[in-house]
Structure 1
């Protein structure tokens, strides 16, 4: 039995604990203390004076808003023997702890049952394992388990920055059943002719035993509540075997598929539900269309790199009229480079043509005091690679940005997040990259040659969130180094700086480190967009611009769940007054495509409805848009989501207004955004779990002609009306532009 239990413990990491079995035990509450003491792991330690907290919520929301470092949870739980007697397999208990940020050791009645990541004082140093799931199994015969008695699960946590603790899930204990070995996976959807789509479902058996049962699936039109098709298939899956099944689905909004596998011996079922992806953005046109912002900001005397963004059939011929003195233009690549020393507004005419047609537009280069006159757009390594980022992955991502055509729509920043720094500085204090990056200056040159911008990451503390060297005491040296490397963007992440404030949470203490680096950046003869990342502490949106910030994080880290997207995105309603050209509220990076934070790379857990709402809301908020996915795995749906020029234009609108919320009732929110062309963007968001119909009333001037355009499908849908009835998907959006009113 001992050997079998070991096998189950090893396999438990594969089990996706999204649903509990039978009479599960919820682990809702714990006793909690900051700090670290090895005695706290012991079952009989007296913790009665500790604070009670909820398990499954970050400790920052439970009275520890600025705390980062070591902390312990002690969960007292009675495990009834009936939990085992009522199960079928009776082999092992499962302890599901959801996500732990960033490192943990977990003890059961004083015995270590698992460790994930590395603590700062470990031999290998700090290794963050965000966002790995903690999922442990113990053989039911193990004497550690006190059946019908009290047990203590003690979890030692180290948080290196951002959210801390056990969260993003509902921890529980249950008995492992055979059907837990079944894992569902779906392929990237293929969109076929005739409004059809092809989906491949794969069933994996992760256990070393035969599993037999019935696979059922049902296809439903969620908008109208109608079942389109259903099927039941009896299958046997051998140990570690996989089986594939092909489904053909209608290609339209509202198609939902319910899968479940009912294991024969236990009669228990594992379920999986998905909303089938659907494309709204029309197919790309072959004739050339100029995209990207209509204005850029540059400091006098700073180098300019600007790539004309134009979609359409290649090859193309690029041209620019009215090129100012100091700039040169490469007609083959479409890249403008050079330096303008004299302040002023310089208006250029961009032209592009191919064998099918041509396009032109005016670009204004504003040489003056402001950078980031529209929100930055590009890619950041964190949500995909986490601390596993490498030079090869960055270069590959930049190449994919160009080859996928995203660069043709204005996506141009390529930002290296945490994990690039060497372990030690030179004797003079200079910072170098670690062995994963051969030459940062050469990396910058490669990006610039492609017309892309180079972003980098640091912290005002001694250490970054990932435990690498920060900039504390070396701000000017690091700023000089970034300039030498050709860096265009700096994300400056608070992390360990709080170790230096000794509990000082005053406004001055929050501002000081960002002022120091801001001053260092101002001394550079290079424009480096300054991203202040400190999670919204002390209302950073009210003072970020005074620190010379160009964008400032207003929230904790986002994750690919509806709860995270909803809580972060829709909490921005009181901040519109603080966003304008040169300074933007930043609700964190995009969570579409394949994400994983360095491990467990997976398609975003957001439904297609939620992904459309995500991009729509960020565009309405005039938020920075940084893709966070694996750029080598961009599927048709994600590309279609990121290549809608009209949605992007709302985000990049030169007026720079953040939308305001005008309606918030019954789970419906309406956000309105004034545009530079006199139009009005309106987002109608449905926060409910079911389709909702909403009647949007419009203000019209007498005798005015108004045109209502659906921005996602790029089509005028109504005109000369005072209202429009909208059917909005659950957690979805209708994004409109009103002109002529």
Structure 2
């Protein structure tokens, strides 16, 4: 467990580097367990503005290689039981050289991380909780200790959906020593972002603390910041909030989300619970954005462009930004459709994630499948306010909401639709509106009207 001198360093609060949610690309939605170095680099170049990409200037700055980069028999559509994972003489996982050629000769991810850094981006990888089962069976030496890997594993602690690893015995001194050495090893490759899985469902408090300590020590040794993302978030409770803030930078609040409307709709409720607690002290993560061309060799489905409609896509992006969720897109960017790329780069929408505070649900009314849900957010000084008017109905419909109930005070004459740049007039207070200025808008099926009010002018034209 953590030594006393290493405690008291909440991860996000000590970073001092950003007050916006992390953003980037992750290989999972497109490539599942099978992504290759060439595919990672193609997406990194696109993210960085090469090959027609426009996302880096909008804040998309991290590239993450998801699960089983160490599994030579990895396949689309799921995991192999008792997979023949690759590891070194200390039980540290190694990239598969057939998929990541630059890793050959024991170089690990250092060359790929350097290539991503040369593009001005951050580099991340996925890890499972614990230690590879095959490394435990090999009973390897734990660096700089008298212990061996067979002693430090908790063989009764396993992941219910992936058989690669055992948990660690965090009451054994060799467990922290091995974890420290392993994390130092991967941070030494140039890793800036760690997505660590099988941590939260169930909630493994000892593993969360041990990981946080190992990362803190690696940061001090290598002199740079490493973001820690925990998943999955199935059934995650706010009872863990302060513990999460102390030991992680972001944490999932749901199971995997795919390109299905019910998945998006469910996040309206989850993020209503978590958004008031999300910010630079730690980011509640509504999961990756399954947008663009996904399913190339993924866990679920055939190659496809996201099955979400354009309006559902904008609902997702609007909600994630109002809730200030991390934004990690899963589509293969070079082959994704231009409309999706344009939405991901929309400066007016991303300004909500980058500049707002206090995003929260303000109003929810109506029955299942036909709810009106209203969110509000504002800059710290109140000079700009945003309102998101969502409809869960399967057909377009008119929604009438008092402007004050949407967080738009002062009875403005008009607000701006952020997605389109159009002015949206408000109905003035009179006998027909019950004495309230009313926001009266047409909302698409499963759609949103994301609105902005700038206090200096009452309203502001343009989409930015």
Q: TM-score, normalised by structure 1?
A: 0.46
Name which one, 1 or 2, has greater alpha-carbon Rg. 1
TM-aligned CA deviation for residue 482 of structure 1: 2.3
2:386 alignment partner, one of 681, 684, 687:
681
Unaligned runs of 5+ in 1: 1-365, 499-504
After TM superposition, the structure 1 = structure 2 runs for residues 136-155 of structure 1, keeping only pairs within 5 Å, are none
TM-aligned CA deviation for residue 635 of structure 1: 1.3
TM-aligned CA deviation for residue 458 of structure 1: 0.4
Q: For residue 420 of structure 2, what is the aligned residue in structure 1? A: 713
In structure 2, relative to structure 1, the CA distance for the partners of 1:380 and 1:622 (3 Å cut) is same
Tell me, in whole angstroms, the C-alpha distance in 1 between the residues paired with 2:66 and 2:186: 14
Of Structure 1 and Structure 2, the greater helix share is in 2
In structure 2, relative to structure 1, the CA distance for the partners of 1:585 and 1:701 (3 Å cut) is closer
Q: For residues 339-394 of structure 1, what are the alpha-carbon distances to aligned partners after superposition, in whole Å with 9 as ceiling and x for unaligned?
A: xxxxxxxxxxxxxxxxxxxxxxxxxxx99544552111110000110011111110
2:119 alignment partner, one of 445, 450, 458:
450
Q: For residue 558 of structure 1, what is the aligned residue in structure 2? A: 257
Q: For residues 492-511 of structure 1, what are the alpha-carbon distances to aligned partners after superposition, in whole Å with 9 as ceiling and x for unaligned?
A: 1017x98xxxxxx6xxx621
Contact 1:664 1:670 in 2 (8 A): no
1:485 aligns with 2:189: yes
Q: For residue 207 of structure 2, what is the aligned residue in structure 1? A: 513
After TM superposition, the structure 1 = structure 2 runs for residues 217-256 of structure 1, keeping only pairs within 5 Å, are none
Q: For residues 255-310 of structure 1, what are the alpha-carbon distances to aligned partners after superposition, in whole Å with 9 as ceiling and x for unaligned?
A: xxxxxxxxxxxxxxxxxxxxxxxxxxxxxxxxxxxxxxxxxxxxxxxxxxxxxxxx
In structure 2, relative to structure 1, the CA distance for the partners of 1:515 and 1:611 (3 Å cut) is same
TM-aligned CA deviation for residue 526 of structure 1: 2.0
Aligned residues: 364
In structure 2, relative to structure 1, the CA distance for the partners of 1:567 and 1:624 (3 Å cut) is same
Contact 1:430 1:478 in 2 (8 A): yes
1:529 aligns with 2:227: yes
Q: For residue 434 of structure 1, what is the aligned residue in structure 2? A: 96
Q: For residue 384 of structure 1, what is the aligned residue in structure 2? A: 30
Of Structure 1 and Structure 2, the greater strand share is in 1
TM-aligned CA deviation for residue 528 of structure 1: 0.7
Tell me, in whole angstroms, the C-alpha distance in 2 between the residues paired with 1:701 and 1:532: 38
**SS of residue matched to 1:683:** strand
In structure 2, relative to structure 1, the CA distance for the partners of 1:731 and 1:537 (3 Å cut) is closer
1:636 alignment partner, one of 318, 338, 358:
338
In structure 2, relative to structure 1, the CA distance for the partners of 1:371 and 1:543 (3 Å cut) is farther
Contact 1:384 1:594 in 2 (8 A): yes
1:723 alignment partner, one of 425, 435, 438:
438
Contact 2:66 2:126 in 1 (8 A): yes
Q: For residue 613 of structure 1, what is the aligned residue in structure 2? A: 315
1:732 alignment partner, one of 443, 447, 454:
447
Contact 1:419 1:466 in 2 (8 A): no
Tell me, in whole angstroms, the C-alpha distance in 2 between the residues paired with 1:512 and 1:433: 27
1:373 aligns with 2:19: yes
TM-aligned CA deviation for residue 462 of structure 1: 3.6
367-376 vs 462-471, which moves further: 462-471
TM-aligned CA deviation for residue 698 of structure 1: 1.4
Tell me, in whole angstroms, the C-alpha distance in 1 between the residues paired with 2:69 and 2:166: 11
Contact 1:680 1:738 in 2 (8 A): yes
**SS of residue matched to 2:32:** helix
Tell me, in whole angstroms, the C-alpha distance in 1 between the residues paired with 2:232 and 2:291: 23
Q: For residues 438-478 of structure 1, what are the alpha-carbon distances to aligned partners after superposition, in whole Å with 9 as ceiling and x for unaligned?
A: 33111111111111110111011345865546884442122
Q: For residue 409 of structure 1, what is the aligned residue in structure 2? A: 58
Q: For residue 148 of structure 2, what is the aligned residue in structure 1? A: none
Q: For residues 505-530 of structure 1, what are the alpha-carbon distances to aligned partners after superposition, in whole Å with 9 as ceiling and x for unaligned?
A: 6xxx6211111101111112321111
TM-aligned CA deviation for residue 696 of structure 1: 2.6
Tell me, in whole angstroms, the C-alpha distance in 2 between the residues paired with 1:418 and 1:371: 27
Unaligned runs of 5+ in 2: 1-11, 72-84, 104-108, 133-158, 169-174, 429-436, 459-464
Tell me, in whole angstroms, the C-alpha distance in 1 between the residues paired with 2:229 and 2:213: 14
Higher relative CO (Cα under 8 Å, sequence separation at least 6) belongs to: 2
Tell me, in whole angstroms, the C-alpha distance in 2 between the residues paired with 1:462 and 1:713: 50
Q: For residue 459 of structure 1, what is the aligned residue in structure 2? A: 128
Tell me, in whole angstroms, the C-alpha distance in 2 between the residues paired with 1:705 and 1:564: 35
TM-aligned CA deviation for residue 570 of structure 1: 3.3
**SS of residue matched to 1:400:** helix
TM-aligned CA deviation for residue 539 of structure 1: 1.1
Tell me, in whole angstroms, the C-alpha distance in 1 between the residues paired with 2:167 and 2:227: 17
Contact 2:21 2:283 in 1 (8 A): yes
1:672 aligns with 2:376: yes
Q: For residues 107-132 of structure 1, what are the alpha-carbon distances to aligned partners after superposition, in whole Å with 9 as ceiling and x for unaligned?
A: xxxxxxxxxxxxxxxxxxxxxxxxxx
Tell me, in whole angstroms, the C-alpha distance in 1 between the residues paired with 2:393 and 2:409: 33
**SS of residue matched to 1:658:** strand
Q: For residues 411-460 of structure 1, what are the alpha-carbon distances to aligned partners after superposition, in whole Å with 9 as ceiling and x for unaligned?
A: 11111100212624322343321222233111111111111110111011
Tell me, in whole angstroms, the C-alpha distance in 2 between the residues paired with 1:371 and 1:530: 14
Q: TM-score, normalised by structure 2?
A: 0.72
367-376 vs 726-735, which moves further: 367-376
Contact 1:680 1:739 in 2 (8 A): yes
**SS of residue matched to 1:387:** coil
In structure 2, relative to structure 1, the CA distance for the partners of 1:372 and 1:569 (3 Å cut) is farther
564-573 vs 440-449, which moves further: 564-573
In structure 2, relative to structure 1, the CA distance for the partners of 1:719 and 1:668 (3 Å cut) is closer
In structure 2, relative to structure 1, the CA distance for the partners of 1:661 and 1:639 (3 Å cut) is same
Tell me, in whole angstroms, the C-alpha distance in 2 between the residues paired with 1:576 and 1:642: 21
In structure 2, relative to structure 1, the CA distance for the partners of 1:671 and 1:623 (3 Å cut) is same
